Amino acid sequence: MLRNLMLFLASNAKLAALISQVGRRSGLTRRFIAGESLAEAIPAIRELESLGLDTTLDLLGEGVTQEEEAVNAARLYRRLLRRIEETQLRSGISIKLTQLGLGFDRELCDRNLRLILDEAESLKKFVRIDMESSAYTEATLDLFRTQLEHYGPRRVGVVVQSYLYRTESDVKSLIGTGCNIRLCKGAYMEPEEVAFPKKADVDANFTRLLDLMLDSDLYSAIATHDERMIAHAKKVIASNGLPENRYEFQMLFGVRRELQVALRQEGFRMRVYVPFGTQWAPYFMRRLAERPANVLFILRNMFKA
């Protein structure tokens, strides 16, 4: 019930604007958002790097409705790639295709994506295509496959979500490409017709997909804060004798920092997704939806700022 409420709030533009005002005033968003600009986020990124953690930068924003907005987003992503190079951050970027126009003009989105990947190619940087709601899954994977053929797995990767019924088939279709796949559970409100409604089923599917990926030629980016999933992954990695260049663990900025550091100290590659930007409210609400403890944190600190 609470999760569904949070996800509903995340999809409501007016409520998102109100949440943005409250969040800026209270400062509570600093737990999950590194800043509203790259300049604000760099100190947090440097701190993570000092701990041996790699990062992926997530310029927040999604669901644009105008061509000018989509073109501007592509411009900002290209500028972000150049700033990563200039500041010598150990970072790639994550992008949402609805921010590039996928929701209203697929050809525009494709052009914008190619511009970003051309920039990434010239700078030798990696771009992760994020996965959004199930309404965009097919188009996202189609565009990814097209770009993968052109740019290769060293420049572009994708995300799959274990709460979708279709994901096992999607992963199997990508085996043989050697591509880079980030496996997460998923954080959007979905109907029972397309997604597992029970958390236990989502978790079980995550494990099945993880086994499938680690037993293939894919590069597996294991995105979870769940210690049971991490323990399972370690077991499979050890039994398969997987080299370090075939997988990594990933977590979100502001979540389980001690576990992130512990995994790195054990010798595992650990990457942190670092979100920043002014359009952070939908992302923030989805983080609250994932764990009741996040909501309790907000309530406890509501009047401290």
Residue 238 tokens, joined: 């050890």
Q: Is residue 297 part of a domain?
A: no
Catalytic pick among 128, 182, 264, 287? 182
Q: Residue ranges of the chain with pLDDT lower than 70?
A: 1-29, 280-305
Residue type, 251: M
Residues listed for the chain: 305
Is 59 contained in some domain? yes
State residue 304's pLDDT score: 40
Taking the C-alpha atoms of residue 97 and residue 110, their distance in angstroms, rounded to an integer, is 9
What range does the domain containing 174 cover?
Answer: 34-279
Asked, for residue 179, whether it belongs to a domain, the answer is: yes
Residue 290 backbone phi and psi in degrees, to 5: -70, -35
Q: Do 272 and 3 meet the contact criterion of CB atoms below 8 Å apart?
A: no
What tens digit of pLDDT does each residue of 170-204 get?
999 999 999 999 999 998 889 999 999 999 999 99
Q: How far apart are CA 281 and CA 14, in angstroms?
A: 11
Q: What is the CATH number of the domain that holds 111?
A: 3.20.20.220
Output the CA–CA distances (angstroms, integers) from residue 251 to 7, 32, 256, in the order listed.
Answer: 20, 11, 8
Under a CB-based contact definition with an 8 Å cutoff, are residues 60 and 283 in contact?
yes
CB 11 within 8 A of CB 189: yes
Verify whether residue 271 is a known catalytic residue. Answer: no
- Catalytic-residue membership of 182: yes
Q: Which two tokens stand for residue 93?
A: 């970027």
- Which residue is catalytic, options 58, 130, 170, 203? 130
Question: Is 116 a domain residue?
Answer: yes
Structural tokens at position 253: 């900025």
List, in sequence order, every beta strand (DSSP E) within 166-298: 180-184, 219-223, 247-252, 270-276
Which ranges of 189-256 would DSSP assign to H, the alpha helix?
199-214, 227-240
Q: What is the pLDDT of residue 164?
A: 98
Query: Is residue 131 assigned to a domain?
Result: yes
Query: What do you get for the CA distance between the two ends of the chain, in Å?
Result: 28
Residue 300, domain member (yes or no)? no
Tell me, yes or no, whether 56 lies in a domain: yes
Question: For residues 223 and 252, what is the distance between their CA atoms, to the nearest angstrom?
Answer: 8
Task: Decide if 222 is inside a domain.
Answer: yes
d(CA 2, CA 235): 33
What total of structural domains would you count in the chain? 1
- pTM for this entry: 0.86
154 dihedral zone (left: phi>0; alpha: psi -120 to 50; beta):
alpha
Residue 39 DSSP symbol:
H
